[in-house]
A and B are shown apart, each in its own frame.
Chain A
Amino acid sequence: MESAVSDGKAWIAELRSYVGRRYGVIHAWDAVNASMIRQWCEAMDFDFAPFAADTAADSVHGGMVAPATMLPVWLMPGLRNTRPPGSDLTNPREVMTVLEREGYIGILGTNCEQEYERYLRPGDKISTTHMVEAISDEKQTKFGPGFFITFLQEFFDQHNAPVGRMRLRILRFKPQPKVEQKPLRPSPPQPALSQDTAFFWEGLQAGKLLIQRCAACHTLRHPPGPACTSCHSLEWDTVQASGRGKLFSFVVMHHPQHPAFDYPHPVGLIELEEGVRLVAPLAGTDPDVLEIGMAMEVVIEAVEGEHRLPNFRPVKKG
């Protein structure tokens, strides 16, 4: 997608003025030589043996040649970033300063292509010229709006005959601030489930409010436990509660807050009509209408992949 926004701006014309601009000759520090070839092979973890002078003599090349992809290496400025005498010292990538000034500070190399006219041999003395070959229109990229700049670098030998060329395409972009998306409401704190309690949570996921019941004396108990505190039997089953009860007490939480809830957040102690009490959220109810003793009913909200205590709300009058 092309942006209309950049059209007609003065700096765009300035940017475009770089297209086709050529930069002068830059000379190589060293002639093509065996030791740099060997060191490059070592650095690149490249097998040097086929290039070595004695084996290469018997090859199709009839002597030592430099690996083709080394082409730009001969023109590297070195650690001190300097050029041999007679080189053009103008920065061939000065177009970048325009983009940086305009806020296109992101940089990403996108692709690099090389073409070769011939193999280089020890003794060849290489030079290069640079040119800004193309600047794209402003593009919307996933990194932000930006321009693709294509640099053409051409290489020549000591006879000024072309030996190869390289195109480097670079994206300069304006990094975009991340769009703040309202996060999905996180789950409430999740319970620990044990062999003694899992039935309760699994029941809720099936839409049922289950209460533990002693299998021997039928006493109900909540929170669940391994044995009946009345008759001490370890056997138990469950009954499904009607979901009706009354508000035994309640708290309206202000602090601390959990992002799962809206605040002020009411929480009730519900006495179920079966006789046991449980703590339950009262989300969605105006805390001002709550009164101890009022009739309440359950609203079980089963949410995939998470556990929730059942929500209760006042029973509508009439």
Chain B
Amino acid sequence: MSDFLSGKVAIAGIGATEFSKNSGRTEIRLAVEACLAALGDAGIAPEEVDGMCTFTMDNNPEMDVHRLIGGKDMTFFSRIDYGGGGACAPVLQAAMAIATGVANVVVCYRAMNERSWYRYGSGTPMTQSPTFTHANHYSWYLPAGLSSPASYVAMAARAYMHKYGVTSADFGQISVVAREFAATNPKAYFYGKPITLDDHQQSRLVADPLRLLDCCQESDGAVALVITSAERARSLNNKPAIVRAAAQGSAQGQHRMTSFYRNDMTTLPEMGLVAKQLYAQSGLKADDIQSAILYDHFTPYVLEQLEEFGFCGRGEAKDFVRSRQHARGGRLPINPNGGQLGEAYIHGMNGIAEAVRQLRGTAVNQLGGLHNILVTAGTGVPTSGLILGRD
């Protein structure tokens, strides 16, 4: 266990807007609403916020959000790339800033009208400017007709299915459990709308082997988190969610969604790297984790994450989910808010908020016997993760 970060900071406040398909308001308003809600939850005044951290894909600059919530001086601001892979990384950034004294109160946020204003699922637009590494990257895929996040995941998923005898129905187990949890979460878009495995199998193919119900939602909404020192957090409104570990990872042969050139395409070495760091920092092991928020933009990578964190052996995630170990009452209930498949797709930030609620004991689908909860970020890209624990 390393002592530079573990246990030193906590998530003291969480805030969110409603999750919808059309917020009807600007993204910056969503950001402001979520940040103010999180600060209100923490019991910290906006004037005290001296750090802001978000995703490079967020359209709301730290400076603007900070000014608009009534912030004064800001000594730390940063952004993380690679879409949902960044989900937990702003918390790592905040934790490092706080642990080193660079900042005292950091707000991490993500606000988007990803359904009503634009949709990631409709494919990557090709820009032909060769000055962008981005454009050169997509030049190896878009001209072939491979253009959406689902299509990139599908390429890796087929290899994984082939190697380990995983079926589409195994992926469906992830969707079914997500929708079970969402069905009893009033804040979830799919509240009251569970699905059966047959519904999953009947859903249309999007990027075969991926079906519609293997893909997360597209959502409008915002989530914000308030990070401060564990010491400060203990004096505030809520039970602190202690950051036991926070890490980022990008591994050899890393590409943005298309790491198709590694010897083995059926693993997520960047997530393995995150797992190794999280366990080392926290001194915890898989057996010490009672629940996990596993990034679920697409179901196949949820299975592979179970393997990367050692909740089961390589190729055994299919058995884990076939026996519903990931469901309510199982060995490792995952995404008890319904995940991004069931609650909303806010680039993983809504999952972090759920982990905090679970640790506080205030979740709608409250799990028992919870000490430590794992949170992961987007897969297929450079990624990040957290282990949060009860004080």
Could you tell me the distance between the alpha carbons of A188 and B145 in the complex, rounded to whole angstroms?
7
Interface centre among B122, B132, B143 (most CB of A within 10 A): B143
Is A193 close to B, CB under 8 A?
A: yes
Q: Which residue of B lies closest to A263 (CB)?
A: B145
Inter-subunit contact B143/A191 (CB<8 Å): yes
Inter-subunit contact A258/B147 (CB<8 Å): yes
With A191-B139, A252-B205, A254-B204: A276-B128 Cβ-Cβ less than 8 Å: no
Inter-subunit contact A249/B145 (CB<8 Å): no
Interface residues of B in 100-139 (CB under 8 A from A): 121-123, 126-132, 135-139
Inter-subunit contact B148/A222 (CB<8 Å): no
Is B217 close to A, CB under 8 A?
A: no
Which residues of chain A come closer than 8 Å to B147, judged between CB atoms?
189, 256, 258
Residue of B132, B141, B158 touching A279 (CB-CB under 8 A): B141
Could you tell me the distance between the alpha carbons of A261 and B145 in the complex, rounded to whole angstroms?
7
Could you tell me the distance between the alpha carbons of A261 and B122 in the complex, rounded to whole angstroms?
16
Could you tell me the distance between the alpha carbons of A188 and B142 in the complex, rounded to whole angstroms?
8
Is B363 close to A, CB under 8 A?
A: no
Inter-subunit contact B143/A307 (CB<8 Å): yes
Could you tell me the distance between the alpha carbons of A141 and B209 in the complex, rounded to whole angstroms?
55
Could you tell me the distance between the alpha carbons of A248 and B261 in the complex, rounded to whole angstroms?
10
With A192-B128, A253-B146, A281-B144: A292-B158 Cβ-Cβ less than 8 Å: yes
Inter-subunit contact A197/B136 (CB<8 Å): yes
Is A196 close to B, CB under 8 A?
A: yes
Inter-subunit contact B207/A308 (CB<8 Å): no
Which residues of chain B come closer than 8 Å to A280, judged between CB atoms?
144
Is B155 close to A, CB under 8 A?
A: yes
Is A264 close to B, CB under 8 A?
A: yes
Which residues of chain B come closer than 8 Å to A253, judged between CB atoms?
145-146, 151, 207-208
Query: What per-residue 1/0 map shows which CB atoms of B188-206 lie under 8 Å from chain A?
Result: 0000000000000000111
Inter-subunit contact B205/A254 (CB<8 Å): yes
Could you tell me the distance between the alpha carbons of A142 and B121 in the complex, rounded to whole angstroms?
44
Query: What per-residue 1/0 map shows which CB atoms of A161-194 lie under 8 Å from chain B?
Result: 0000000000000000000000000001111111
The prevalent SS among residues of A at the interface is: loop
Q: Which residue of A lies closest to B121 (CB)?
A: A256
Chain A's nearest CB lies how many Å from the CB of B346? Answer: 22
Inter-subunit contact A249/B155 (CB<8 Å): yes
Is A76 close to B, CB under 8 A?
A: no
Chain A's nearest CB lies how many Å from the CB of B304? Answer: 14
Could you tell me the distance between the alpha carbons of A281 and B121 in the complex, rounded to whole angstroms?
20
Inter-subunit contact A189/B155 (CB<8 Å): no
Inter-subunit contact B136/A309 (CB<8 Å): no
Inter-subunit contact A251/B128 (CB<8 Å): no
Inter-subunit contact A252/B128 (CB<8 Å): no
Interface residues of B in 146-162 (CB under 8 A from A): 146-148, 151, 154-156, 158-159, 162
Which residues of chain B come closer than 8 Å to A190, judged between CB atoms?
126, 128, 143
Q: Which residue of A lies closest to B154 (CB)?
A: A251
Could you tell me the distance between the alpha carbons of A11 and B143 in the complex, rounded to whole angstroms?
58
With A192-B130, A276-B261, A292-B158: A264-B139 Cβ-Cβ less than 8 Å: no
With A191-B139, A267-B146: A222-B261 Cβ-Cβ less than 8 Å: yes
Query: What per-residue 1/0 map shows which CB atoms of A256-270 lie under 8 Å from chain B?
Result: 101011001101010
Q: Which A residues form the contact surface with B (CB < 8 A)? A: 188-197, 222-223, 248-256, 258, 260-261, 264-265, 267, 269, 276-281, 287, 292, 307-309
Would you give 13 A-B contacts (Cβ < 8 Å), ordered by A?
Answer: A188-B142, A189-B147, A197-B130, A251-B155, A253-B151, A253-B207, A256-B123, A256-B148, A258-B147, A279-B140, A280-B144, A309-B140, A309-B144
Q: Which 3 A-B pairs have the closest CB atoms?
A: A191-B139, A192-B135, A252-B208
